[in-house]
Structure 1
Amino acid sequence: MRIRRVACLLFAGFCVIQLTLLYFENLDIQRFMPNEKTNKPYRVLRGYNKDSTGKYLIHRFYKSEGFNLDSIEPEDVTLVTHCTVDRLHHIIGLTETWAGPMSIAIFAPGTDSAFADDAIDGLRLCWPVLRKLANFHLVYPKHESTRANMSSAGDFVYLSCKDIMRRMVLKKSLLESQHSPGGLGYPHNLMRNVALSGVLTNFVLTVDIEMIPSENLRKDFLEFAKENHLHPKPHTVKNNQEYTSVNKTVFVVPAFEVKKDSEIGGTKQSIIAAMRKSDARPLLQETCPQCQVQTNYEKWASTSGLVHQFGVAYEAEFATGWEPFFISSRMAPWFDEKLTKFGHDRLSQICELKSNEYTFKVINNGFLIVASFRIKSRMTEEEHIRKENKITFKDQFRAGLRKSGRIASDLIGVC
Structure 2
Amino acid sequence: MSDALKFSKIFSNSAFAIENIQPYYFRATSTPLPEDISLITHITVASWPQLERLAENWQAPISATLHIQSKSSPLSPDIADILRDLGTKYRSNIAMSSHVDIHLYFSPPASSPSLALAHNVDRNLARLFARTEFICDVPAGIIPATRIRNTLRTNQKSFTPRLRDGDVMVVPLFTFIEHAAKHSAVPRTKASLLSLVSKGIIGLDDKHWELGNGPTNFERWRNSETLYAVKDYEVHYEPIVIQSRNAQPWCPERFADNEAACLFASYLNGADFWVLPDDFMIQLEPKRGNDLSNFESVIQNRLYAKSHGEMCVHFARQLDSLGLWDTPKAKNAIAQCSRVISSWGKGLIGKPE
Amino acid at match of 1:53: S
**1:216 matched to 2:216:** no
How does the TM-score come out when normalised to structure 2?
0.73
The answer for the alignment partner of 2:348 in structure 1 is: none
- In structure 2, relative to structure 1, the CA distance for the partners of 1:316 and 1:284 (3 Å cut) is closer
- In structure 2, relative to structure 1, the CA distance for the partners of 1:381 and 1:284 (3 Å cut) is farther
In structure 2, C-alpha distance between the alignment counterparts of 1:291 and 1:191, rounded to whole Å:
29
- In structure 2, relative to structure 1, the CA distance for the partners of 1:383 and 1:360 (3 Å cut) is farther
- In structure 2, relative to structure 1, the CA distance for the partners of 1:369 and 1:382 (3 Å cut) is farther
Shift, 1:209, TM fit? 1.1
The answer for the alignment partner of 2:69 in structure 1 is: 109
- In structure 2, relative to structure 1, the CA distance for the partners of 1:264 and 1:393 (3 Å cut) is same
Which residues in structure 2 correspond to 1:89-168 (within 5 Å)? 89-110=49-70, 113-114=79-80, 117-141=83-107, 146=108
In structure 1, stretches of 5+ residues that fail to align are 1-25, 29-44, 147-179, 232-242, 307-311
- In structure 2, relative to structure 1, the CA distance for the partners of 1:255 and 1:244 (3 Å cut) is closer
**1:319 matched to 2:239:** no
**1:407 matched to 2:326:** no
Which one of the candidate residues 113, 124, 136 is aligned to 1:193?
A: 124
Q: Secondary structure at the match of 1:271?
A: helix
- In structure 2, relative to structure 1, the CA distance for the partners of 1:407 and 1:229 (3 Å cut) is closer
| 1:318-372 deviation digits (Å, cap 9, x = unpaired) | 2232111111111132443433155xx2122222112121111100111111124
Verify the 8 A CA contact 1:284 1:374 in the aligned structure 2: no
How does the TM-score come out when normalised to structure 1?
0.63
Q: Which has the larger radius of gyration?
A: 1
**1:183 matched to 2:112:** yes
In structure 1, C-alpha distance between the alignment counterparts of 2:213 and 2:24, rounded to whole Å:
33
Amino acid at match of 1:407: F
The answer for the alignment partner of 1:273 in structure 2 is: 195
The answer for the alignment partner of 2:166 in structure 1 is: 248
Which one of the candidate residues 181, 202, 205 is aligned to 2:133?
A: 202
Amino acid at match of 1:100: A
- In structure 2, relative to structure 1, the CA distance for the partners of 1:290 and 1:372 (3 Å cut) is closer
| 1:45-66 deviation digits (Å, cap 9, x = unpaired) | 98884554243221111133xx
Shift, 1:134, TM fit? 1.0
In structure 2, C-alpha distance between the alignment counterparts of 1:341 and 1:408, rounded to whole Å:
25
Which residues in structure 2 correspond to 1:11-410 (within 5 Å)? 49-50=7-8, 52-56=13-17, 57-64=20-27, 67-68=28-29, 71-110=31-70, 113-114=79-80, 117-141=83-107, 146=108, 182-184=111-113, 185-225=116-156, 228=157, 230-231=159-160, 246-258=164-176, 259-262=178-181, 263-283=185-205, 288-289=209-210, 293-303=214-224, 306=225, 312-317=226-231, 318-341=233-256, 345-374=258-287, 396-401=303-308, 406-408=314-316
Verify the 8 A CA contact 1:63 1:136 in the aligned structure 2: yes
- In structure 2, relative to structure 1, the CA distance for the partners of 1:358 and 1:121 (3 Å cut) is same
Shift, 1:398, TM fit? 4.1
In structure 2, C-alpha distance between the alignment counterparts of 1:58 and 1:412, rounded to whole Å:
39
In structure 2, C-alpha distance between the alignment counterparts of 1:73 and 1:80, rounded to whole Å:
16
- In structure 2, relative to structure 1, the CA distance for the partners of 1:337 and 1:412 (3 Å cut) is farther
| 1:232-269 deviation digits (Å, cap 9, x = unpaired) | xxxxxxxxxxx577422211000111132312222212
Shift, 1:230, TM fit? 4.4
- In structure 2, relative to structure 1, the CA distance for the partners of 1:291 and 1:115 (3 Å cut) is farther
| 1:109-141 deviation digits (Å, cap 9, x = unpaired) | 226854652354133332123222111111122
Shift, 1:293, TM fit? 0.5
In structure 2, stretches of 5+ residues that fail to align are 73-77, 319-332, 338-353
Amino acid at match of 2:147: N
Amino acid at match of 1:370: Q
In structure 2, C-alpha distance between the alignment counterparts of 1:97 and 1:324, rounded to whole Å:
20
Q: Secondary structure at the match of 1:326?
A: strand
In structure 2, C-alpha distance between the alignment counterparts of 1:282 and 1:120, rounded to whole Å:
34
Amino acid at match of 1:253: V
| 1:181-204 deviation digits (Å, cap 9, x = unpaired) | 632521111100000011121211
Amino acid at match of 2:136: L
- In structure 2, relative to structure 1, the CA distance for the partners of 1:139 and 1:278 (3 Å cut) is same
Verify the 8 A CA contact 2:146 2:281 in the aligned structure 1: no
Q: Secondary structure at the match of 2:238?
A: coil
Verify the 8 A CA contact 1:80 1:192 in the aligned structure 2: yes
Amino acid at match of 1:132: S
In structure 2, C-alpha distance between the alignment counterparts of 1:316 and 1:382, rounded to whole Å:
33
Aligned length: 304
In structure 2, C-alpha distance between the alignment counterparts of 1:109 and 1:63, rounded to whole Å:
18
Q: Secondary structure at the match of 2:129?
A: coil
Amino acid at match of 1:400: S
